[in-house]
Amino acid sequence: MGSARIVVIGTGYVGLTTGACLASLGHQVTCVDVDAVKVARLAAGRVDILEPGLEELVARGLAAGRLTFVVGSRQAVADAEAVFLCVPTPMGAGGGADLRAVEAVIDEIAGSLPPGCAVITKSTVPVGTAQRIRALLGRPDVPVVANPEFLREGTAVADFLNPDRIVVGADDEAAAQWVAGLYADLAAPSVVTDAASAELVKYAANCFLAMKLSYVNAIAELCERLGADIESVTEGMGYDRRIGRSFLKPGPGWGGSCLPKDTHALVQVAESVGFDFSLLSAAIQENIAQRDRIVAKIAGTVGTLAGARIGVLGLAFKAGTSDLRDSPALSVTAMLAAHGAEVTAYDPAVGGELPGMRVVDDPYQTAKGADALVVLTEWDEFRRLDWNYVAELMHGDSVVDTRNLLDPRSVLAAGLSWLGLGRPRARALAG
Ligand code: UDX
């Protein structure tokens, strides 16, 4: 396929990555947002999202004249061949996805879409959304296509351009094939199917990852109780090709903008068709329990949290992003504060004011006078801290490493104590 005229509505993580990457594949892309200030910044090449490679790609698209940013979707779609919906679908009341942003866009563009223009959902939408959009549009001449994204924050551009698979679903098969063709230059298998299946793939995959993580966190807890080492256990599991090595690292719980909302949404969708997805509900419960266990672990090192000074390293839901949405680090710090601890936190990508803690711009400031220091996000720079200096600054001596990130030997060598997840101290030290 040659170049297509594409409109991308919404310029968040998903929309901006989609727009810039489609432009880099040679398509003519117009990105639309309601936020005029954001549009002006983007048109000037200013990208406010921390996403490696994205700013360069936007600059290249702008320079080549293949990428433009505008306000107002009605005019933008008037001569489009494809419209990608990349607006937020947050968790609504009751756990289901809130589709108001999608519905508002459909309402706005319905009368302006040229005949045959494909309307494509990119944001994660509940199964049945394509059908609902078709009804809302009232345009039998406009195919509705589900084409979920599988982008991870921090590697979104690389994930888009080098995907494991392309999933496209529509009840109009020719339309699905045409949309799959937009990605023809990418060397990836494509699954072309019906709309409901394409919509479900996204949930089924994300919820599987969430269950895998809850499982690993539970196994790490068992390791602690049984004197086993999670590092060896997951290494041994990971060699099994049916399991694989990724998503086997224990942590303070899974978070971010996708897994929490998608797990809740799938439980709710299942409920709506009379199926009790207790397996997935248990994974969600386990994720809550994990945070409680982390707080108890920290409390155990300081005696009582009331009045304790806790230094926190890392606030983002994972390393490589400044995103705080549903970050387990934030819920752990909130619980610490609720128990009366005084929290001082540092994250290389997060600044400004946050409730219940003092945010500092230097990791060593979190150690000053601290009774315990807690690693909550796996930023590489924490591995290279000067532990002797940290020990001098601290009041207590506990380092709780909820990501098993640090080299325990360097922490111990500074006269501090190290407590990881699912790891007996002696094994970790023999390392
Ligand atoms: C996820 C999916 O991976 C992606 O396919 C989907 O499109 C969007 O949601 P993302 O939210 O960017 O991507 O984060 P991801 O890298 O998947 O991590 C999710 C959470 O699991 C994070 O809180 C992370 O810290 C945690 N995690 C991940 C672990 O605790 N251990 C691991 O081994 C992997």
Q: What is the pLDDT of residues 155-169, one digit of tens each?
A: 999 999 999 999 999
Question: How open is the CA angle 306-307-311, to the nearest 5 degrees?
Answer: 105
Percent of the chain predicted with pLDDT > 90:
92
258 is catalytic: yes
What distance in angstroms lies between residue 315's CA and the mean position of ligand 1's atoms?
15
Which one, of 238, 311, 293, lies nearest residue 421 by Cα?
293
What distance in angstroms lies between residue 204's CA and the mean position of ligand 1's atoms?
14
Residue 244 has pLDDT above 80, yes or no: yes
Confidence bin at 333 (pLDDT 50/70/90): very high
Ligand 1 within 6 A of CB of 325: no
Looking at domain 5-192, its CATH superfamily turns out to be: NAD(P)-binding Rossmann-like Domain (3.40.50.720)
pLDDT average, residue stretch 309-321: 96
Question: Distance between CA 226 and CA 374 in Å, rounded?
Answer: 24
Ligand 1 within 6 A of CB of 382: no
List pLDDT tens digits, range 10-27.
999 899 999 999 999 999
- The phi, psi pair for 358, rounded to 5°, reads -105, 125
- Give residue 110's pLDDT: 97
More confident residue, 97 or 315: 315
**What CA–CA distances, in Å, run from 386 to 243, 377, 404?**
37, 18, 17
Confidence bin at 123 (pLDDT 50/70/90): confident
Question: Distance between CA 88 and CA 284 in Å, rounded?
Answer: 22
State whether ipTM is beyond 0.85.
Answer: yes
What distance in angstroms lies between residue 178's CA and the mean position of ligand 1's atoms?
30
Q: What residue ranges of the chain are covered by domains with CATH 3.40.50.720?
A: 5-192, 259-430
- Give residue 431's pLDDT: 61
List pLDDT tens digits, range 347-362.
999 999 999 999 999 9
Q: Which residue among 166, 206, 258 has the greatest number of ligand 1 atoms within 8 angstroms of its CB, and so is best to mutate?
A: 258
What distance in angstroms lies between residue 293's CA and the mean position of ligand 1's atoms?
20
Whole-prediction pTM value?
A: 0.93
Which pairing describes strands 342-346 and 309-313: parallel, antiparallel, or unpaired?
A: parallel
List pLDDT tens digits, range 153-204.
899 999 999 999 999 999 999 999 999 999 999 999 999 999 999 999 999 9
More confident residue, 424 or 392: 392
Confidence bin at 73 (pLDDT 50/70/90): very high
Confidence bin at 76 (pLDDT 50/70/90): very high
Ligand 1 within 6 A of CB of 153: yes
pLDDT average, residue stretch 391-403: 98
- Give residue 29's pLDDT: 98
What distance in angstroms lies between residue 152's CA and the mean position of ligand 1's atoms?
7
Confidence bin at 424 (pLDDT 50/70/90): confident
- CA-nearest residue for atom 16, ligand 1, is 152
- Give residue 94's pLDDT: 82
Question: Distance between CA 96 and CA 266 in Å, rounded?
Answer: 8
Q: 3-class secondary structure for the chain?
A: CCCCEEEEECCCHHHHHHHHHHHHCCCEEEEECCCHHHHHHHHCCCCCCCCCCHHHHHHHHHHHCCEEEECCHHHHHHHCCEEEECCCCCECHHHCECCHHHHHHHHHHCCCCCCCCEEEECCCCCCCHHHHHHHHHCCCCCCEEECCCCCCCCCHHHHHHCCCCEEEECCCHHHHHHHHHCCCCCCCCEEEECHHHHHHHHHHHHHHHHHHHHHHHHHHHHHHHHCCCHHHHHHHHHCCCCCCCCCCCCCCCCCCCCHHHHHHHHHHHHHHCCCCCHHHHHHHHHHHHHHHHHHHHHHHHHCCCCCCEEEEECCCCCCCCCCCCCCHHHHHHHHHHHCCCEEEEEECCECCCCCCCEEECCHHHHHCCCCEEEECCCCHHHHHCCHHHHHHHCCCCEEEECCCCCCHHHHHHCCCEEECCCCCHHHHHHC
Note the CATH number of domain 259-430: 3.40.50.720
Ligand 1 within 6 A of CB of 160: no
Confidence bin at 405 (pLDDT 50/70/90): very high
Closest ligand 1 atom to residue 259 Cα is 9
List pLDDT tens digits, range 83-122.
999 999 888 888 788 999 999 999 999 999 999 999 999 9
Residue appearing with tokens 């045959």: 116
- CA-nearest residue for atom 28, ligand 1, is 247
Residue 343 has pLDDT above 90, yes or no: yes
Question: Distance between CA 108 and CA 130 in Å, rounded?
Answer: 17
Confidence bin at 82 (pLDDT 50/70/90): very high
pLDDT average, residue stretch 244-250: 97
